[in-house]
């Protein structure tokens, strides 16, 4: 994170290259970087991320989306306004 709270290139590259087999791990990592931590939460098996329109959060989502195989396995749904839901498919 830079001094304004935006993700840096190292963090974004780490997200883009995260293993597709580790859905929960990436969500925990991204939630730790999320601006307004109450906009990233877990309920049961679903994870909810809302960007709040903040461009730093949108950068994190874009990096997750660029990790195409991870996204295909763990993305559940998204709705207008920057709301995303994920359901990790990890074996527990």
List Cβ neighbours of 73 (8 Å cut-off, separation of 6 or more). 20, 23, 89
What pLDDT shows up at residue 4? 80
Cβ 54 vs Cβ 35: under 8 Å:
yes
What pLDDT was estimated at residue 1? 81
> What is the pLDDT tens value at each position of the chain, 92 positions in all?
877 889 999 999 999 999 999 999 999 999 999 999 899 999 999 999 999 999 999 999 999 999 999 999 999 999 999 999 999 987 75
**Residue 62: per-residue pLDDT:** 98
pLDDT at residue 79 in the model? 96
pLDDT of residue 92: 58
């Amino acid at each position: 994170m830079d001094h304004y709270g935006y993700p840096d290139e190292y963090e974004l590259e780490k997200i883009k290259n995260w293993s597709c087999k580790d859905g929960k791990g990436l969500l925990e990592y991204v939630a730790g970087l999320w601006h307004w931590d109450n906009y990233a939460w877990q309920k049961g098996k679903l994870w909810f991320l809302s960007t709040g329109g903040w461009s730093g959060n949108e950068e994190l989502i874009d990096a997750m989306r660029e990790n195409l195989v991870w996204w295909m396995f763990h993305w559940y749904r998204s709705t207008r306004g920057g709301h995303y839901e994920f359901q990790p498919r990890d074996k527990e």
